[in-house]
Amino acid sequence: MTFDYRYSMLLACALLSTGGCIEDTPGSEGTTTTTEGTDTGSGSEGDSSDGGPSCGDGFRSAGEECDGNDFGMATCTSLGAGTGSLVCTAQCTIDATSCTECGNGTIEGSESCDLFDLDGQTCESLGMGSGRLACQSCLFDTSGCMPVCGDGVVQDGETCDGDDLDGETCQSLFGQEGTLGCSDTCVYDDSGCHVCGDRQIDPGEDCDTLPMDGKGLWTTCEELFGRNFSGQVICGDDCTIDTSMCFECGNGVIEGLEDCDGARLGGTTCEDLGELPGTLGCTEQCTFDPSGCGT
């Protein structure tokens, strides 16, 4: 009789050909599966302590909410527990405590906030000025934060704040030289920016090409250094003073428009000047002094 039953089961399995026969036959010794079809023991009862005979085999079967990763059709969402991943306990029951739900007032998983739980953050702590921080879809909503000019951080509505120039410079904004600043109202202060060559002496410039002479001559060396200097101060290409064309009378070197300098007469004599022979002198202004000629 037993043989006949087994034979019929084998035949049924072969006909169904669905990868295994489920043991649900009272009195059958074997838990007949495709891999352990010859196992005649009843040891499957020892596979799990509390979850029933087949808890732990990875296949959810009757009486098990889950087994391993097999949750059937159950998900956090289907259980009304939000989103996330279910956990299967050793007893083959579903643990939904790892599910997260935006809107339950508790910050979980990747939520930044949930309802009124802002995780202790404020507009200020987020560097967003002052005002009222809110939570929207479990992400911070900073639309109620107001910029504070003077906190040193550029926020919406500010072009700069203190030393925070938002990465801009005179060069990047205006193609100019100089130092960009920030006003008390958090807008750029370009008074420190300048262009050399615009004929205006701007902050950071010693001079700039002035329109009067059209030659870039700025002032006389005499004005700058004193009456024993001759020549012209030139404004350099970088709007700094260029004194290379200033000449000092009294330094013993005949330069520029100087006729002579001290005892240096450049080989010139009274006769060269159409005077009678004598001793040619040099004035304090480095011009020839013929008063000693003809004496």
Instruction: Say if residues 245 and 256 touch (Cβ distance below 8 Å).
Output: yes
Q: Which of 166, 161, 157, 168 is nearest to 182 (CA)?
A: 161
Q: What are the angstrom distances between the C-alpha of 71 and each of 33, 64, 85?
A: 21, 9, 10
Question: Which span sits near Ca ion by CB under 5 A: 89-97, 229-237, 244-252, 264-272?
Answer: 244-252
Q: Does 161 bind Ca ion (CB under 5 A)?
A: yes
CB of 189 to Ca ion, least distance (A): 15
165: tokens are 């120039």
Question: Which span sits near Ca ion by CB under 5 A: 4-12, 69-77, 148-156, 166-174?
Answer: 148-156
Question: Which span sits near Ca ion by CB under 5 A: 17-25, 41-49, 107-115, 177-185?
Answer: 107-115
Q: Which of 168, 207, 209, 208 is nearest to 189 (CA)?
A: 168
Which is closer to Ca ion, CB of 60 or CB of 194?
A: 194
CB of 37 to Ca ion, least distance (A): 49
Question: Which span sits near Ca ion by CB under 5 A: 22-30, 206-214, 215-223, 271-279?
Answer: 206-214
Q: Does 23 bind Ca ion (CB under 5 A)?
A: no
Instruction: Say if residues 247 and 287 touch (Cβ distance below 8 Å).
Output: no
Q: Does 114 bind Ca ion (CB under 5 A)?
A: yes
Selected binder of Ca ion within 172, 200, 240, 269 (CB under 5 A): 200
Q: Which of 261, 237, 238 is nearest to 249 (CA)?
A: 261
Q: How far apart are CA 109 and CA 100, in angstroms?
A: 6
Q: Which of 90, 24, 21 is nearest to 57 (CA)?
A: 90
HSE, side-chain direction, 13 A CA sphere, residue 50? 5
Selected binder of Ca ion within 50, 119, 198, 284 (CB under 5 A): 198
Q: Are strands 193-194 and 188-189 parallel, antiparallel or unpaired?
A: unpaired
- Alpha helices by DSSP H, listed for the chain, are 2-16, 170-174, 221-225
Which is closer to Ca ion, CB of 114 or CB of 259?
A: 114
Q: Does 202 bind Ca ion (CB under 5 A)?
A: yes
Question: Which span sits near Ca ion by CB under 5 A: 47-55, 86-94, 159-167, 169-177?
Answer: 159-167
Residue 193 pairs with which residues in a beta bridge? Answer: 178
Which is closer to Ca ion, CB of 40 or CB of 125?
A: 125
Which is closer to Ca ion, CB of 94 or CB of 196?
A: 196
CB of 254 to Ca ion, least distance (A): 6
Contacting positions for Ca ion (CB under 5 A)? 104, 106, 108, 114, 147, 151, 153, 155, 161, 194, 198, 200, 202, 208, 251, 253, 255, 261
